Amino acid sequence: MSVPQPPEPIPGARLLFSLDPAVSHLNHGSFGAVPVNVQRVQQRLRDEMEANPLRFFGPGLVDRIAHTRRHLAAFLGADPDGTALVGNATTGVAVVLQSLGLRPGDEVVTTDHGYGAVGYSVDRECRRTGATHRVLRVPLTATDEQIVEIVRAGLRPGRTRLLVVDQLTSATARLFPAAALVGIGHEHDVPVLVDAAHAPGMLPAPVGGIGADFWVGNLHKWGYAPRGTAVLVVAPSWRDRIEPLIVSWEQPAGFPGNVEWQATLDYTSWLAAPAGVWTLRTLGVDRVRAHNAALAAYGQRVVGDGLGVAPANLPEPGGPTVAMRIVPLPAGTATTIEEARALRGRIAERLATEVNVMSWDGRGWLRLCGQVYNSPDEYERLAVRLPTLLALR
CATH number reported for the structural domain that contains residue 128 in this entry? 3.40.640.10
Task: Find, among 377, 323, 379, the residue nearest to 32 by Cα.
Answer: 323
Please report whether residue 93 resides in a domain: yes
How many alpha carbons lie under 13 Å from residue 9 in its C-beta half-sphere?
A: 10
Range of the domain at 146: 58-263
Rounded-to-integer distance, Cα 259 and Cα 82, Å? 11
Within this chain, do residues 94 and 214 fall inside the same structural domain, yes or no? yes
Q: Are residues 29 and 110 in the same domain?
A: no
Q: Is residue 6 part of a domain?
A: no
- The answer to whether residue 178 scores a pLDDT higher than 70 is yes
What is the count of structural domains for the chain? 2
Q: Is 290 exposed, middle or buried, given 0-12, 13-18 or 19+ CB atoms closer than 10 A?
A: middle
64 closest CA partner among 258, 257, 280: 257
Mean pLDDT for the stretch of residues 126-131: 98
One-character DSSP codes across 122-184: HHHHHHHHT-EEEEE---TT--HHHHHHHHHHH--TTTEEEEEEESB-TTT--B--HHHHHHH
Residue 135's φ and ψ, nearest 5 degrees, are -110, 125
Q: Please report the sign of the dihedral spanned by the C-alpha atoms of residue 307, residue 313, residue 315, residue 318.
A: positive
> Are residues 346 and 213 both part of a single domain?
no
Q: Is the pLDDT of residue 1 over 60?
A: no
Domain limit, last residue, from 206, 232, 263? 263
**Can you give the pLDDT at residue 255?**
96
In DSSP terms, 165 is beta-bridged to 194
Residues 336 and 19: their CA atoms lie apart, in Å, by: 30
Rounded (10°) angle between helices 337-351 and 376-391: 120
Percent of the chain with pLDDT strictly greater than 70: 99
Tell me the C-alpha to C-alpha distance, in Å, between residue 20 and each of 4, 23, 45, 66, 354: 28, 6, 25, 35, 11
| Secondary structure of residue 221 in the 3-state scheme | coil
Distance CA 267, CA 46 (A): 9
CATH of the domain at 361: 3.90.1150.10
Report the C-alpha gap between 263 and 269 in whole angstroms: 15
Please tell me whether residues 132 and 17 are part of one structural domain. Answer: no
Domain shared by 131 and 177, yes or no: yes
Q: Where are the alpha helices (DSSP H) in the chain?
A: 28-31, 36-51, 53-56, 60-76, 89-99, 116-129, 144-154, 178-187, 257-260, 268-283, 285-306, 337-351, 376-391
Q: What is the mean pLDDT of residues 357-377?
A: 97
Strands 192-195 and 214-218: parallel
Is residue 314 scored above 90 in pLDDT? yes
Query: Pick from 228, 263, 298: which residue ends a domain?
Result: 263
Higher confidence at residue 264 or residue 304? 304
Q: What is the pLDDT of residue 111?
A: 98
Asked if residue 247 and residue 129 are part of one domain, the reply reads: yes
| Residue 278 included in any domain | no
Give the closest residue to 231 by CA, choosing from 82, 55, 337, 393: 82
The mean pLDDT of 149-162, rounded to a whole number, is: 96
Question: Is residue 366 a contact partner of residue 372, using CB atoms and an 8 Å limit?
Answer: no
Mean pLDDT of 163-190: 97
Residues 322 and 245 in one domain: no
Does 43 fall in a domain? no
pTM comes to: 0.96
Q: What is the rounded average pLDDT of the residues 351-378?
A: 97
pLDDT at 107: 98
Contact 184, 162 (CB under 8 A): no
Q: Are residues 126 and 172 in the same domain?
A: yes
Same domain (yes/no): 180, 89:
yes
Establish if 277 belongs to a structural domain: no
Q: What is the mean pLDDT of the chain?
A: 96
- Yes or no: say if 103 and 162 are a contact pair by the CB < 8 Å rule: no
Contact between residue 249 and residue 260 where contact means Cβ atoms under 8 Å apart: no
Considering the domain architecture, whether residues 206 and 308 belong to the same structural domain is answered as: no
Q: Which of 232, 263, 294 is the last residue of a domain?
A: 263
Of the candidates 204, 222, 206, 172, the one whose C-alpha atom is nearest the C-alpha of residue 320 is 204
Q: What is the pLDDT of residues 201-246, one digit of tens each?
A: 999 989 988 999 999 999 999 999 999 999 999 999 999 999 999 9
Residue 156 lies in a domain: yes
- Amino acid identity of residue 268, one-letter, is T
Please give the pLDDT value at position 393: 57
Q: Are residues 194 and 96 in the same domain?
A: yes
Claim to verify: residue 111 and residue 252 sit in the same structural domain: yes
Distances (CA, A) of 228 to 86, 130, 256, 276, 288: 7, 31, 17, 13, 22
pLDDT band of residue 2 (cuts 50, 70, 90) is low
Question: Would residue 273 count as lying in a domain?
Answer: no
